[in-house]
Amino acid sequence: MLDFDTGDTKENIFNAAKKEFLEKGYKDASLRHICSEAGVTTGALYFFFKNKEDILDKILEPLIDGYRKMVRNLFKGNDAEKKSWSGESQLIEYLYQNREAAIILIKCRHGTKYEEIFESIYNGMKYGFKSLFRTNGINDVDDSFLDILASMKMEGYLNMLKGDYTLEEIQDLAEKITAYWDSGFFGLVEKMKGKF
């Protein structure tokens, strides 16, 4: 949640916009409806925000900046196997703490600059899989296969975020899913190396 110095009005607009984006997506979100929900005039909205895109920026930029910092820290060093659960746990907790913004990013990215940013996050996930394969001696992995793995993982995150789970429940689910992914991944590596 942002810390607004200018009082409740800006925060009310911000919260009404989040609700509108979650319900209708970016394209169909209405500034008039946001103002009505916040109990303010459109003039008040324009006092605090330039336009609908500016509101979206204020919601998503902190999420994306925090995500990038976390990923940079996770990829320092190259012991990918040992970091698997630690990184997964941090990511799940971060997404949970920023649940609304993460869902808005997924839901509202189409037709905005966030489509490209979402694509870079998705490509980062593919790169993570590719790095894991390389760490385990597999250097030639088909890009379409990496797409499938990244899509499956992204869909899993989205389903966890959209569910009505506590942080502890999400962490438990994520730990189980990671154990499933890891055992499947290392079994796949053995198969790709021709060991079974």
Number of H helices, E strands in the chain: 9, 0
Q: What is the pLDDT of residue 3?
A: 43
Q: Give pLDDT, residue 66.
A: 92
Nearby residues of 10 by Cβ (< 8 Å), 6 or more positions away: 4, 48
pTM of the model: 0.75
- Distances in whole angstroms, Cα of residue 188 to Cα of each of 3, 80, 136, 193: 46, 16, 11, 9
67: three-class secondary structure by DSSP: helix
Q: What is the pLDDT along the chain (196 residues), one digit of tens a residue?
A: 444 445 689 999 999 999 999 999 999 999 999 999 999 999 999 999 999 999 999 999 999 999 888 877 776 655 544 445 456 778 888 888 999 999 999 888 888 999 888 888 888 889 888 988 999 899 889 999 999 998 888 888 888 888 888 988 988 888 888 888 888 888 888 888 876 5
| Of 174, 172, 181, 178, nearest in space to 158 by CA | 174
Q: How far apart are CA 49 and CA 57, in angstroms?
A: 10
